Amino acid sequence: MENKFSVSQSPHVRDGVTTQKIMGAVALALLPASICGVFFFGIHALLVLVVSVVSSVLSEYIFEKITKRPVTISDMSAAVTGLLIGMNMPPEVPLFVPVLGSVFGIIVVKQLFGGIGQNFMNPALGARCFLLISFSSQMTDFSVKGGIVGASLDAVSSATPLATLKTGAAYPMGDLFLGLIPGTIGETSALALLIGAAFLLILHVIDLKIPVSYIGTFFILTLITSVTRGYNAPLSFTVCELFAGGLMLGAWFMATDYATSPMTGKGQIVYGVCLGILTFLFRMVSKSPEGVSYAIVFMNCLSPMIDQFTRPVAFGMKRRKGENNG
Amino acid sequence: MQAKTFKGGIHPKDMKEISMDQPIMTLEPGKEMVFLMSQHIGAPAKPLVKKGDPVIIGQMIGEAGGFVSAPVYSSVSGTVKAVEKRKNALGDMVDAVVIENDGLDTESEYTPAKLDALSPEDIIKRIQTAGVVGMGGAGFPTHVKLSPKEPDKIDHILVNGSECEPYLTSDYRCLLENSDELVKGLTCILKIFPKASGIICIEDNKPEAIAKMREAVKGSDRIRVEVMKTKYPEGAERSLIYAVTGREVNSSMLPADAGCIVNNVDTVIAVYEAVIKGRPLMHRIFTVSGDAVANARNYDVRIGMSYADIIEAAGGFQKEPEKIISGGPMMGFSLFGLDVPVTKTSGAITCFIKDPVKESVPSACIKCGRCVRGCPAHLMPCDLSDIAEHGDKEEFAARYGMECVECGSCSYICPAKRPLASNIKAMRRTLLAERRK
């Protein structure tokens, strides 16, 4: 009878949720917006997405092989990064741009800092910022040749949608919500992004703290500013600001990235509010049309500090003054 | 009414349905019975018998080794076969009295008592003499628990019927089948604390037990039933006290510091048997469960019976198990073998055909924060586990690592399957050992 049983420390059961399943869920949640992007912007968009995913996964595989580390591509994290990089590309971007972005995002931002969970910055956004600086003309050319949007736009507009908003023009609300507007491949369809976000909320992969505090703060600040500045239709301007740029994609799918956002509940709210303020400052005070990527990347760097300052008080360790916070 | 709860915790599959509906069945004791002298927290009992001595049921075979200790009684009649070291559930060799059961069940005479005639001191004395200890697992001698420094400050006597550990259903069956004894036992304890009210805490996944107990407490104006939210570890002492009273107890406090005394269901029933019937603690209700056993259900077993005998008497395995756990899967100990005797604190054996954790390979932390949200002690297990791995004792203590209740929620919930609880436990053991020096 001796030693025939398997012995280990408790607990002897584990939850079914794994890193792979979480990343798989995120990838699935991104699919509706990706599919919309392909329909709206044409077949080149599909090519961009595929190339981004493949080059991200390959970058991780090759780097881990060369450095003789365990290969982790099966955890789906590199694939999610690749998909996000693709979704952050303009529809007609030359293919070498996302490839460079993937190599930068996976190797420099993620692997050099220790791989999954160790990166201090969201790899997809790190890649996007790198590309925005290095290839600014390619990254801000929003001309559309194919798809539904390409067919409906008579003149090929290369202006960024948020810049168009600044000129006082507005998009029809329906088009805005469905995503029939210029933009990066994955960011335009608020509807598809919200469906994906709802999926992640139901699975408890993400919760509302970061996205709601982020979007809420940005909404309130922008609305107040557009009222005080005497814009024609402050509310519809603010709604356009919410749906026209990268805010939906950023708030629901990139600000919620585990490795680069705070872990504590309070910290997540602080983080979301700061993101809202920064995005507002970038977009409404400074003259840059977009501000989501830089806001998130900046806050990524602060999130370890936020965690440190918002650590939960150990149970039974707060000063007893009859107060308890549930 | 809103079910009471605490902040943090997890929702493992409770798996209670496989054993909860069959009534408790009494098992005949085995041929060889092993009585460990240390079945409780505190000094081990000292053997009172030697090889060859005849013993009967209810005879004290080990006397308490001090105030924080408890005597041990024989649950069978027969002959002492040996007084030697035997293995406990943790695999340690400890002093034990081994008795050859003659199967005659010759029993001692007990002296019953009427509660009205007993003073609080008498009640505590009878509990102490009967060797009653916390039967939920910790094994803290009950008479010590019932003798706090300031008895007047005790205003809550909680009966822990949460049974949040998956697979276990022994408390549930006791609530259903021994509800009157439970109320009587609690009444005995309440007599020691005239200012306290008795609260029977039951999770809301056991509606039948709640109904049954509500019925049983009718007419006892000092006892009520509270419904707790089904969540692990609702039955952890500190979580339970917080859920019921809103008071927080940390690792350097006793529940009594928050005006509470918490007892397990089986313990309160043992108190009834000790105080009213005068019968020492010699049996307990024991869950046999898991997919490997033929008849998952609860059994009334005599203390000293080996796990092997219990499994055999319960119909054996339907399939060869890969993992055997003494207790439930969240906090129980996995066993090397079945040659381990039932003690006052062993509540269950859970047998799995496949070890559910054998194939889970730890990978890098993705900082998802699930362990932080799940921790009932409001710690950051992912950080503490890293700190423990690096051996940084100061930082571990500064980050309140000693407040961990070792419930295992963090390891359970971790998507990267990191052994968070094991790392933290190991560090706590090191620090506790150093403090004792």
A11–B337 C-beta distance less than 8 A:
no
For residue B336, which residues of chain A lie inside 8 Å, CB to CB?
Answer: 2-3, 5, 7
Test A11 with B411 for CB contact under 8 angstroms: yes
- Residue in chain B closest to A6 (alpha carbons) equals B323
pLDDT confidence of residue A153: 62
Say yes or no for a CB contact (<8 Å) between B322 and A263. no
Q: What does DSSP assign to residue A15?
A: -
Q: What percent of chain B has pLDDT over 90?
A: 94
Residues B120 and B236 in one domain: yes
The H or E element containing residue B175 is: helix B170-177
- Res. B359: pLDDT tops 90: no
Structure tokens at B175: 């609530």
Q: Do the beta carbons of residue B6 and residue B239 sit within 8 Å?
A: yes
Q: How far is A52 from chain B (nearest CA, A)?
A: 22
Chain A partners of B7 at a C-beta cutoff of 8 Å? 326
Number of inter-chain CB pairs under 8 A, A vs B: 166
Q: Do A4 and B413 touch (CB under 8 A)?
A: no
Interface probe for A, chosen from B242, B363, B403, B409 (most Cβ of A below 10 Å), is B363
Q: Is-contact A10 B7, C-beta < 8 A?
A: no
Is residue A2 in some structural domain? no
Residue with tokens 């069978």: B76
B360 neighbourhood in chain A, CB within 8 Å:
14
Give the pLDDT of residue A326. 35
A6 touches chain B (CB under 8 A): yes
Specify the 3-state DSSP secondary structure of B289.
strand
Nearest to B233 by CA among B90, B89, B412: B412
Contact A212, A272 (CB under 8 A): yes
The answer to whether A193 and A252 are in contact (CB under 8 A) is yes
Structure tokens at B52: 């060859």
Which comes out higher in pLDDT, residue A319 or B405? B405
Spatial separation of the C-alpha atoms in residues B210 and B358, rounded to whole Å: 37
Inside any domain, residue B4: no
B204 within some domain: yes
Minimum Cα–Cα distance from B408: chain A residue: A11
Interface residue A326 vs chain B (CB under 8 A): yes
The reported pLDDT for the residue numbered A147 is: 79
**Best of B4, B366, B375, B400 to mutate (most A CBs within 10 Å, chain A):** B366
Q: Tell me, what's the pLDDT at B288?
A: 96
Length, in residues, of chain B = 437
- How does residue A167 score in pLDDT terms, banded at 50, 70 and 90? confident
pTM of the shown model:
0.92
| Residue B249 and residue B137 share a domain | yes
- CATH of residue A296's domain is 1.10.3430
Q: Which A residues, 263 through 302, put their C-beta within 8 Å of a C-beta on chain B?
A: 263-265
Task: Please give the share of chain A, as a percent, with pLDDT higher than 90.
Answer: 72
pLDDT digits (tens, 9 = 90+) for A150-163: 777 654 555 667 77
Q: For residue A316, give the nearest of B249, B360, B380 by CB distance.
A: B249
Nearest residue on chain B to A206, alpha-carbon basis: B368
Q: How far apart are CA A107 and CA A111, in angstroms?
A: 5
ipTM above 0.95, yes or no: no
Task: State whether B366 and A117 contact (CB < 8 Å).
Answer: yes
Note whether B123 and B271 are same-domain residues.
Answer: yes
Residue A27 maps to a domain: yes
DSSP label of B258:
G
Tell me the nearest-neighbour CA distance from B160 into chain A, angstroms: 20
- CA–centroid distance for B293 within its chain: 22
Across the interface, of B166, B250, B308, the residue whose CB is closest to A316 is B250
Question: Beta strands B93-101 and B156-161: pairing type?
Answer: unpaired
Residues B200 and B238 in one domain: yes
Query: Is A215's pLDDT higher than 80?
Result: yes
Region of residue B262 (phi > 0: left; psi between -120 and 50: alpha; otherwise: beta) = beta
Nearest to B353 by CA among B328, B329, B317: B317
Do the beta carbons of residue A126 and residue A297 sit within 8 Å? Answer: yes
Contact B228, B3 (CB under 8 A): yes
Q: Judge if B180 and B233 occupy the same domain.
A: yes
Q: Which residues contact B392 (CB under 8 A, 6 or more apart)?
A: none
**Which residue intervals of chain A are DSSP H helices?**
19-41, 43-66, 77-87, 96-103, 123-134, 136-139, 147-152, 161-166, 173-178, 190-202, 209-228, 234-244, 247-249, 265-280, 292-309
- Please state the length of chain A: 326
- B139 and B269 in a single domain? The answer is yes
Q: Are A15 and B412 in contact (CB under 8 A)?
A: yes
- Asked if B408 and A11 come within 8 Å (Cβ–Cβ), the reply is yes
Region B110-126: mean pLDDT is: 95
Determine, for residues B332 and A10 on separate chains, whether the beta-carbon distance falls below 8 Å: yes
Q: Tens digits of per-residue pLDDT, B192-217?
A: 999 999 999 999 999 999 999 999 99
Q: Which residues contact B357 (CB under 8 A, 6 or more apart)?
A: A8, A11, A12, A13, A14
Q: How many domains does chain A have?
A: 1
Give the mean pLDDT of B375-390: 96
Largest CA distance in chain B: 64
Residue A10 Cα, gap to closest chain B Cα (Å): 5
Contacts of B251 in chain A (CB under 8 A): 316
- Nearest C-alpha neighbor of B158 from the set B197, B192, B127, B123: B197
Domain range for B120: 112-277
- My answer on whether B103 and B137 are in the same domain is no
**B164 with B313, same domain?**
no
Using omega within 30 degrees of 0 as the cis cutoff, is the peptide bond preceding B233 cis?
yes
Q: What is the pLDDT of residue A323?
A: 42
Domain boundary among B352, B382, B397: B352
Q: Which of A2, A4, A5, A207 is best to mutate for the B interface (most B CBs within 10 A)?
A: A5
pLDDT on residue B104: 94
The answer to whether residue A8 is domain-embedded is no
pLDDT above 60: residue A319: no
* Single-letter amino acid, residue B173: R
Inter-chain CB proximity A1 and B352 less than 8 Å = no
- Structural domain contains residue B426: yes
Q: Which domain holds residue A125?
A: 19-309
d(CA B394, CA B398): 6
* Shortest CA gap A241–chain B (Å): 30
Would you call A264 and B380 a contact, using CB atoms and an 8 Å cutoff? yes
> What is the pLDDT, as a whole number, of residue B1?
59
Q: Is B376 helix (H, G, I), strand (E, B) or coil?
A: coil
Structural domain contains residue A203: yes
Q: Which of B6, B355, B367, B405 to mutate to test the interface with A (most CBs of A within 10 A)?
A: B367
CB A53 within 8 A of CB A69: no
Q: What is the pLDDT of residues B400-433, one digit of tens each?
A: 999 999 999 999 999 999 999 999 999 999 999 9
Which pLDDT does position A324 carry in this prediction?
Answer: 42
Burial of B342 (0-12, 13-18, 19+ CB in 10 A): buried
Q: Does A7 fall in a domain?
A: no
Question: Do B320 and B253 belong to one domain?
Answer: no
Q: Is the pLDDT of residue A321 over 50?
A: no
pLDDT category, A175, cuts 50, 70, 90?
A: confident
Q: What is the pLDDT of residues A85-127, one digit of tens each?
A: 999 999 999 999 999 999 999 999 999 999 999 999 999 999 9
For residue A139, which of A95, A93, A101 has the smallest C-alpha distance?
A: A93
Q: What's the pLDDT band for A180 if we cut at 50, 70, 90?
A: confident
User: A318 vs B419: CB contact, 8 Å cut-off?
Assistant: no
- Nearest CB to A12; choose among B246, B332, B378: B332
Same domain, B230 and B302: no
Whether the per-residue pLDDT at A83 is higher than 50: the answer is yes
What one-letter code names the amino acid at B295?
N
Tell me, what's the pLDDT at B369? 94
User: Which residue in the block uniquely carries the two structure tokens 């909680």?
Assistant: B158
Task: Find, in chain A, the residue whose alpha carbon is nearest to that of B368.
Answer: A258
Point out the domain boundary residue: B277, B298, B315. Answer: B277
Whether the pLDDT of residue B93 is over 70: the answer is yes
* Terminal-to-terminal C-alpha distance of chain B: 49
Angstroms from B1 CA to nearest CA on chain A: 17
Q: Using the beta-carbon criterion (under 8 Å), do B251 and A316 form an inter-chain contact?
A: yes
Residue B270 belongs to a domain? yes
Query: Do you find a cis peptide bond into A11, omega within 30 degrees of 0?
Result: yes
Contact A41, A146 (CB under 8 A): yes
Q: Considering the domain boundaries, does residue B1 fall inside one? A: no
- Whether residue B86 contacts residue B34, with contact meaning beta carbons closer than 8 Å, is answered with yes
Nearest Cα of chain B lies from the Cα of A11 at a distance, in angstroms, of 4
Is A314 touching B (CB cutoff 8 A)? Answer: yes
**Is there a domain that residue B8 lies in?**
no
Average pLDDT over chain A, rounded to an integer: 90
Sort A121 into a burial class: Cβ within 10 Å, 0-12 / 13-18 / 19+: buried
DSSP E strands in B140-266: the ranges are 156-161, 197-203, 223-228, 260-264
Residue with tokens 């406990």: B88
The pLDDT tens digits for B10-42 are: 999 999 999 999 999 999 999 999 999 999 999
Domain assignment present for residue B209? The answer is yes
B416 vs A19, A315, A324: nearest CB? A19
Give chain B's domain count. 3
Instruction: State whether A11 and B329 contact (CB < 8 Å).
Output: yes
- Taking residue A55's Cβ as centre, other Cβ atoms within 10 Å add up to 24
Instruction: For residue A134, tell me if it sits in a domain.
Output: yes
- A6 falls within a domain: no
Does residue B289 share a domain with residue B304? yes
Contact B378 A313 (CB under 8 A): yes
Coil vs helix vs strand at B153: helix
CA distance B207 to A229: 60
Do B152 and B268 lie in a common domain? yes
Does A3 map to a domain? no
What tokens were used for B6?
């605490």
Pairwise CB contact (< 8 Å): A15 & B358:
no
Q: Judge: A312–B378 Cβ closer than 8 Å, yes or no.
A: yes
DSSP state of A188: S
- Choose, out of A10, A309, A320, the residue to mutate when testing the contact with B (most B CBs < 10 Å): A10
Residue B136 pLDDT > 90: no
A17 contacts B357? CB cut-off 8 A: no
State yes or no: pLDDT of A195 exceeds 80. Answer: yes
Q: Cβ atoms within 10 A of the Cβ of A3, count?
A: 8
Distance of alpha carbon B44 from alpha carbon B274, whole angstroms: 21
Is residue B305 domain-resident?
yes
Q: What is the mean pLDDT of residues B287-303?
A: 95
Distance from CA of B379 to the nearest CA of A (A): 6
- What are the phi and psi torsion angles at A16 (to 5°)? -75, -15
Mutate to test the interface with B, among A1, A3, A14 (most CBs of B within 10 A): A14
Name which of A218-232, A312-326, B312-326 the model is least confident about: A312-326
Asked if the model's pLDDT at residue B228 lies above 80, the reply is yes
Q: What is the mean pLDDT of residues B254-261?
A: 94
- Which residue in A2, A15, A74, A324 has the most chain B C-beta atoms within 10 A of its own C-beta, making it the best mutation to test that interface? A15
